[in-house]
C-alpha cells in the first residue's frame, strides 16, 4: 500500500512538472499561445557566490567583464542584475539611467521596474514586486525569482547548492533560433580552406558571409567554433557584449586573412574593402604601450586588459608582420599600410619583451593578461588569477621563435623562458578520471602519483615564488587541484602538456637554425 502511495505521489509530481515545462509562459503578438512543439525550452541557473549564470549548461558572466555575484536576501530571494540573461534568452533590455529604471521584454511580455520602488508595470498593468530594485553601477538589480515568475517560468530554489533555476518555453524567433551550425565551412576551419576554394562561387559566398557580420568599426564579434559560415550570420542572435568586436579566439585576424585570400582569388573590390577596414581596426585598437585589449572599443572590466590568451596578440602581430612584408596573402596592400603595420608590429614586440615576468631576478614566462595602463599582471576570469601562465607562455615563446631574424633581446627572452619551463615541469603526477554517478557530471578528476607519467605544467604559477596556483569562481588562491570546487575541477584544465613539444621539438630546431647553445638540463 505504501509503495502504491509513493508511486502515486511520484506520478503526480511528474505530471505537475510536465505541465509546468509544457506551458508556454507568454503570449506572442498574435494572441495565440504556442505549444511546446513550436517553442524553445531554456533553463537558467544562478548560484550564489559565483559571478556567472548558465543557460542550458553554458556558462556566461552575470555582468560581462566584471566579477558580479548574485546575492541571497532573506526568504531565499535571489538579487542580481539580469541584463545579459534577458538578452541571452532572446529578449530586449532598455536601461533608463536618468530614471534609474529598466524595461525587460521577453517573447511578448514587457516588464518595467524602477529603483527603490515596489510598484512595477507588466504589459500596462500595475504589479507589485517582492523586493524593491536597486540601481548599482549603471545597472538595475532585481528580485530574480519574482521577475521570472512574471514571465511564467517554472522556478526552483536548491537550498543545498544555493542554486536558483528557471525553466521556460520561448517562441522561436530570430534571436532564439540562433546561428546555423556545422557545414563544410565553419568558424573553426575558415582559414584552413585551400587557396583554390576562394576562386570558386562557394568561396565568394563564404567571403560575403564574413563581410556580412563585420562590425562598422571594422572588427568582428566572436562566434562559436561550429557556427556555419555558408549561411548568413543571424546578427539578431548576437546581443549585448557578444556583438562587440574582439581579437579573442582568432576573431578579426581570421576574417581579415580569409577576405585577403578571397580578394587575391577574385579581385572583388568589396573583399579588399573588408580587409582595409579590418586592418584599420587593428591599428586603431593598439594602445600607446603597444598592446591590444581583448575587446575594443569601449571594453569593460577585465575585457579591457591587454590579452595574450588564446594567441590573441600573437595572431594580431602575425597578420601585421605579413602586411608589413607584403607577404603572400597581403601582397596587394599599399606601401602606407605596410609602413603602419611595421610600426605597430615593432611596438608589439617591445611590449612582449617588457612584460616577461621575473621571479627572484630571473625572467620566466608571461601572465595571460596585463593591466592596460600599468602593465601589471592582472586577473582574467574569476578563476584565472594574476599569475605566470604555463599555457599562454608557450604560445608567446613559439611566436618569438617564428621571427626570421631575432634580435638579441628576443633571443634572451626565449632562452630565459625555456630555462623556466625546464625548471617548472611537474613529474610523477597524472590526472585520472574517476567515474561516480552520484556526482553532477558523473565523474571527477583527481591527481595520482605515477613515476612513469609524462611531465606536466600547471596552468598557472604564483608571481612571487613560481609555485603552481589554483582557484575557483570565488577567486581565492589554492595550492592544489583537489581544493578547487567540483564544477571548476572537472570543467577546466588545471594542468597542461603544451610545453612538451616546445621543449622536445620546437626549441631544438630553433637553436640549430640560429646556431645557439641549448639551455635545457632535462632530456625528457
Instruction: Give the burial class of 475: count Cβ atoms within 10 A of its Cβ; 0-12 exposed, 13-18 middle, 19 or more buried.
Output: middle
| d(C-alpha 220, C-alpha 477), whole Å | 35
At residue 37, the pLDDT reads 53
pLDDT (tens digit per residue) in 415-440: 999 999 999 999 999 999 999 999 98
At residue 523, the pLDDT reads 55
Distances (CA, A) of 116 to 121, 449, 487: 14, 57, 36
Instruction: Give the burial class of 335: count Cβ atoms within 10 A of its Cβ; 0-12 exposed, 13-18 middle, 19 or more buried.
Output: exposed
State yes or no: cis peptide before 346, omega within 30 of 0: no
State the average pLDDT over residues 446-472: 97
Contact 22, 41 (CB under 8 A): no
| d(C-alpha 433, C-alpha 446), whole Å | 7
| d(C-alpha 416, C-alpha 405), whole Å | 18
In this structure, the strands spanning 134-136 and 125-128 are unpaired
| Closest by Cα among 457, 461, 459 to 499 | 457
pLDDT (tens digit per residue) in 151-187: 999 999 999 889 999 999 998 877 777 789 999 999 9
Lowest mean pLDDT among 169-178, 383-392, 465-474: 169-178
Q: Does residue 56 have a pLDDT over 60?
A: yes
At residue 237, the pLDDT reads 83
Lowest mean pLDDT among 88-92, 101-105, 218-222, 516-520: 88-92
| Closest by Cα among 154, 257, 149 to 210 | 257
| d(C-alpha 174, C-alpha 255), whole Å | 24
Residue 372 bridge partners (DSSP): none
What angle, rounded to 10 degrees, do the helices at 408-424 and 507-514 form? 150
What element of type H or E holds 338? helix 335-354
Q: Cβ–Cβ contacts within 10 Å for residue 70, how many? A: 22
CA dihedral 322, 325, 329, 334 (to 10 degrees): 120
Residues whose CB falls within 8 Å of the CB of residue 123, separated by 6 or more in sequence, listed in order: 109, 110, 111
- Alpha helix locations (H) across 67-181? 83-88, 144-150, 174-177
Query: How much is the mean pLDDT over the chain?
Result: 91
What element of type H or E holds 45? strand 39-47
| d(C-alpha 336, C-alpha 338), whole Å | 5
At residue 30, the pLDDT reads 32
At residue 184, the pLDDT reads 96
At residue 212, the pLDDT reads 97
DSSP conformational letter for 190 = G
Q: Does residue 13 have a pLDDT over 80?
A: no
| d(C-alpha 138, C-alpha 101), whole Å | 10
Helix, strand or coil, per DSSP, at residue 60: strand
SS3 content of the chain, % helix, strand, coil (to 5): 40, 20, 40
Q: pLDDT category, 38, cuts 50, 70, 90?
A: low
Q: Does residue 486 have a pLDDT over 50?
A: yes
DSSP conformational letter for 426 = B
pLDDT (tens digit per residue) in 487-513: 899 999 999 999 999 999 999 999 999
C-alpha Rg value of the chain to the nearest Å: 26
* Cell representation of residue 305: 586588459
At residue 139, the pLDDT reads 95
Instruction: Give the burial class of 497: count Cβ atoms within 10 A of its Cβ; 0-12 exposed, 13-18 middle, 19 or more buried.
Output: middle
Contact 164, 157 (CB under 8 A): yes
pLDDT (tens digit per residue) in 279-297: 999 999 999 999 999 999 9
pLDDT (tens digit per residue) in 203-262: 999 999 999 999 999 999 999 999 999 999 999 888 777 899 999 999 999 999 999 999
| d(C-alpha 459, C-alpha 393), whole Å | 10
Percent of the chain with pLDDT over 90: 83
Domains of the chain: 20-27+34-177 (3.30.457.10), 178-285+309-344 (1.50.10.20), 355-524 (1.50.10.20)
Residue 62 bridge partners (DSSP): none
pLDDT (tens digit per residue) in 134-157: 999 999 999 999 999 999 999 999
pLDDT (tens digit per residue) in 60-73: 889 989 999 999 99
Residue with cell 515596489: 118
At residue 34, the pLDDT reads 35
The sign one gets for the Cα dihedral 427, 431, 432, 434 is: positive
* Cell representation of residue 330: 597581403
Q: Cβ–Cβ contacts within 10 Å for residue 37, how many? A: 7
Distances (CA, A) of 332 to 27, 95, 264, 336: 55, 45, 8, 12
Bigger pLDDT: 344 vs 11: 344
Bigger pLDDT: 384 vs 6: 384
What angle, rounded to 10 degrees, do the helices at 408-424 and 335-354 form? 40
At residue 31, the pLDDT reads 34
Tell me, rounded to whole angstroms, the distance of Cα 108 from its chain centroid: 30
Amino acid at each position: 500500500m505504501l509503495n502504491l502511495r509513493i508511486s502515486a505521489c511520484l506520478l503526480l509530481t511528474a505530471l505537475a512538472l510536465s505541465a509546468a515545462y509544457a506551458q508556454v509562459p507568454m503570449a506572442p503578438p498574435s494572441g495565440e499561445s504556442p505549444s511546446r512543439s513550436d517553442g524553445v525550452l531554456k533553463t537558467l541557473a544562478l548560484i550564489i557566490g559565483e559571478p556567472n549564470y548558465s543557460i542550458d549548461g553554458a556558462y556566461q558572466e552575470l555582468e560581462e567583464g566584471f566579477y558580479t555575484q548574485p546575492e541571497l536576501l532573506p526568504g531565499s530571494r535571489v538579487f542580481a542584475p539580469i541584463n545579459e540573461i534577458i538578452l541571452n534568452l532572446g529578449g530586449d533590455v532598455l536601461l533608463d539611467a536618468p530614471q534609474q529604471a529598466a524595461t525587460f521584454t521577453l517573447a511578448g511580455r514587457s516588464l518595467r521596474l524602477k529603483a527603490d520602488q515596489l510598484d512595477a508595470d507588466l504589459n500596462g498593468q500595475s504589479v507589485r514586486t517582492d523586493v524593491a530594485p536597486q540601481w548599482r553601477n549603471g545597472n538595475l538589480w532585481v528580485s530574480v525569482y519574482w521577475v521570472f515568475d512574471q514571465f511564467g517560468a517554472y522556478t526552483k530554489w536548491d537550498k543545498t547548492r544555493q542554486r536558483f533555476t528557471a525553466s521556460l518555453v520561448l517562441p522561436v524567433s530570430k534571436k532564439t533560433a540562433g546561428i546555423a551550425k556545422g557545414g563544410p565551412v565553419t568558424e573553426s576551419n575558415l582559414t584552413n580552406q585551400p587557396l583554390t576554394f576562394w576562386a570558386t562561387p562557394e568561396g565568394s559566398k563564404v567571403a560575403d558571409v564574413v563581410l556580412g557580420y563585420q562590425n562598422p568599426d571594422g572588427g568582428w564579434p566572436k562566434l562559436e567554433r561550429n557556427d556555419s559560415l555558408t549561411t548568413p550570420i543571424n546578427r539578431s542572435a548576437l546581443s549585448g557584449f557578444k556583438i562587440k568586436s574582439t581579437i579573442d579566439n582568432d576573431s578579426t585576424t581570421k576574417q581579415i586573412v580569409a577576405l585577403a585570400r578571397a580578394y587575391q582569388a577574385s579581385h572583388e573590390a568589396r573583399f579588399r574593402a573588408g580587409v582595409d577596414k579590418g586592418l584599420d581596426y587593428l591599428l586603431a585598437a593598439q594602445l600607446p604601450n603597444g598592446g591590444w585589449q581583448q575587446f575594443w572599443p569601449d571594453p569593460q572590466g577585465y575585457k579591457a586588459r591587454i590579452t595574450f590568451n588564446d594567441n590573441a596578440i600573437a595572431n594580431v602581430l602575425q597578420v601585421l608582420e605579413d602586411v608589413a612584408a607584403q607577404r603572400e596573402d597581403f601582397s596587394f596592400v599599399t606601401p602606407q599600410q605596410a609602413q603602419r603595420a611595421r610600426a605597430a608590429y615593432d611596438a608589439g614586440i617591445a611590449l612582449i619583451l617588457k612584460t616577461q615576468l621575473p621571479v627572484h631576478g630571473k625572467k620566466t614566462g608571461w601572465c595571460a593578461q596585463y593591466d592596460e595602463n600599468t602593465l601589471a599582471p592582472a586577473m582574467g576570469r574569476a578563476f584565472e588569477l594574476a599569475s605566470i601562465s604555463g599555457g599562454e607562455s608557450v604560445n608567446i615563446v613559439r611566436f618569438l621563435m617564428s621571427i626570421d631574424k631575432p634580435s638579441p633581446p628576443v633571443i634572451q627572452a626565449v632562452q630565459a623562458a625555456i630555462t623556466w619551463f625546464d625548471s617548472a615541469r611537474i613529474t610523477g603526477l597524472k590526472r585520472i578520471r574517476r567515474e561516480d554517478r552520484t556526482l553532477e557530471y558523473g565523474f571527477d578528476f583527481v591527481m595520482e602519483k605515477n613515476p612513469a607519467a609524462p611531465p606536466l605544467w600547471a596552468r598557472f604559477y604564483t608571481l612571487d615564488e613560481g609555485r603552481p596556483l589554483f582557484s575557483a569562481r570565488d577567486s581565492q588562491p589554492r595550492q592544489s587541484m583537489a581544493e578547487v570546487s567540483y564544477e571548476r575541477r572537472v570543467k577546466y584544465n588545471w594542468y597542461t602538456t603544451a610545453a612538451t613539444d616546445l621543449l622536445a621539438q620546437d626549441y631544438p630546431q630553433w637553436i640549430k637554425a640560429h646556431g645557439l647553445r641549448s639551455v635545457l638540463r632535462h632530456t625528457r
